[in-house]
Amino acid sequence: MTTTTVPADSVGIVEEKTFTFAEDEPFCLESGATLAPVTITYETYGRLNEDRSNAILVCHALSGSAHAAGYHSADDPKPGWWEDSIGPGKALDTDRYFVICSSVIGSCYGSTGPMDVNPATGKPYGLHFPVVTIGDMVRAQVRLIDHLGIDQLLCVVGGSMGGMQVLEWAAHHPERIKAAIPLATTAQHSPMLIAFSEVGRQAIYADPNWNNGDYYENGKRPDAGLAVARMVGHITYLSEESMQQKFGRRLQNMEQYGYEFETEFQVESYLKYNGNNFTRRFDANSYLYVTKAMDYFDLAQPTGVLAAAFLNSLDVKFLVVSFTSDWLYPSYHSKNLVSALTAVGADVTYLDIKSSWGHDAFLLEVETMTHLMGDFLARLAREEGVELPEIGEIEEIGDWALAV
């Protein structure tokens, strides 16, 4: 057995937990449809303090999962998706905060989604899974937080689709959070964002193996379509500048043009690798559901005025961050959000961070984000009088405490 040395600044070996609800009474969705039962997978890192006031909920983006930090085993080659920001001494300092991350419903990492068996038919839901919204995802998270016995989260944080969930918490569950950190996100998917989502979906629909969503039992998955969808996504996560730096016009394993259609440029190789890789860890139907949830997201509704969404959010403290080279969720989205928050008199700090990393900057600008989020949380804990645990003061709380 290979034993990898887990880095000292990691939360270490973690395990995924599950929580199931709506076993008796169905969970009502915004569409009017219902789900029953609903399972949520989640992980926690760090320790909850005595009055349960140091909990931070991390919301993941399109392709993310509950596995935000740590390793699933000693020989796990890869840590969770936000390892850079969650751990002892990191932005979300697990020596001080109790960090929770759950997989969204509709996706494919254990929380209820289209891959699961539909109790009504005994077969996988496929396209019979109801369309879920960001609001539905967040209401499922509220149920998880209830289950964990936490009245109020110190903070909800996330980037991209995770940021939408953060804003949903702030707008519709403001009494359950003290602060919100929406990163590289929007309160309203723009037509360009919808267009990119739709192209990804069309690539999946175009794959005959997709078979109208009914492919779980026939052994033929719409991998080709899903890979194309992911390639489109990957372009939008980078910036021109970062692509120039990473790839330029360099060729892959060749000195000169081959004058054929094999992969030749490094950027082609990168896209193809990531597209194919994605099909090994993601589900095509989930891609449809999760992108649809993002497209539907529009906090300005039903009034048409975004500020109206935050009329009850005056006690929530906001740290809004955008990145100058993010052309998928350009800074104007965050500026519109900040205007709306300012209009209702909310406590909002906004930074438009100069970065060349494009949309991915919220994951890659680690040093900047560590200072920014760390300082914001420290201010918050101080202002809110939150008792942060001392190192060594470990409290085990039922079966959901961190198994280190």
Among 83, 295, 326, 360, binds its own copies (CB under 8 A): 295
3-state DSSP call for residue 198? helix
Residue among 52 and 234 whose Cβ is closer to its own copies:
234
Choose the catalytic residue: 102, 173, 359, 360.
359
Contact region with its own copies (CB under 8 A), list: 47-55, 74-82, 174-182, 245-253: 245-253
Under a CB-based contact definition with an 8 Å cutoff, are residues 41 and 78 in contact? Answer: no
In sign, the C-alpha dihedral spanning 156, 158, 163, 165 is: negative
Binding mask 308-327 for its own copies (x = CB under 8 A): -------------------x
Residues contacting residue 107 through CB under 8 Å, at least 6 positions apart: 65, 113, 283, 286, 289, 290
Residue 359 designated active-site:
yes
For residue 201, count CB atoms less than 10 angstroms from its CB and return exposed for 0-12, middle for 13-18, buried for 19 or more: buried
Choose the catalytic residue: 63, 107, 111, 160.
160
Distances (CA, A) of 308 to 118, 156, 167, 202, 343: 38, 20, 13, 34, 9
Binding mask 35-74 for its own copies (x = CB under 8 A): ----------------------------------------
294 binds its own copies (CB under 8 A): no
Could you tell me which of 178, 144, 103, 225 has the C-alpha nearest to residue 347?
Answer: 178
Residue among 152 and 266 whose Cβ is closer to its own copies:
266
Could you tell me which of 5, 57, 67 has the C-alpha nearest to residue 178?
Answer: 57
Residue 160 designated active-site:
yes
User: Cα 370 from chain centroid?
Assistant: 18
Least distance (Å) between residue 176 CB and its own copies: 26
Contact region with its own copies (CB under 8 A), list: 198-206, 318-326, 362-370, 373-381: 198-206
365 binds its own copies (CB under 8 A): no
Residues contacting residue 207 through CB under 8 Å, at least 6 positions apart: 222, 223, 224, 225, 226, 284
274 binds its own copies (CB under 8 A): no
Amino acid identity, position 335: K
Contact region with its own copies (CB under 8 A), list: 51-59, 259-267, 345-353, 394-402: 259-267
237 binds its own copies (CB under 8 A): no
Which residues pair with residue 92 across a beta bridge?
A: 86
Amino acid identity, position 308: A
By CB under 8 A, what part of segment 117-146 binds its own copies?
127, 130-131
Helix H or strand E segment including 322: strand 317-323
359 binds its own copies (CB under 8 A): no
Residue among 133 and 141 whose Cβ is closer to its own copies:
133
Among 34, 202, 277, 339, binds its own copies (CB under 8 A): 202
Helix H or strand E segment including 43: strand 38-45
Per the rule left: phi > 0, alpha: psi between -120 and 50, beta: everything else, 73 is beta
371 binds its own copies (CB under 8 A): no
Residue among 44 and 331 whose Cβ is closer to its own copies:
331
Residue 352 designated active-site:
no
For residue 387, count CB atoms less than 10 angstroms from its CB and return exposed for 0-12, middle for 13-18, buried for 19 or more: exposed
Residue among 232 and 311 whose Cβ is closer to its own copies:
232
299 binds its own copies (CB under 8 A): no
Residue among 30 and 76 whose Cβ is closer to its own copies:
30
Amino acid identity, position 396: E
Q: List, by residue number, the catalytic residues.
A: 160, 326, 359
Q: Which residues bind its own copies (CB under 8 A)?
A: 30-33, 127, 130-131, 188-192, 194-196, 198-199, 201-203, 205-208, 224-225, 227-228, 231-232, 234-235, 238, 240, 243-244, 246-249, 257, 259-261, 263, 265-268, 271-272, 275, 288, 292, 295-296, 298, 327, 330
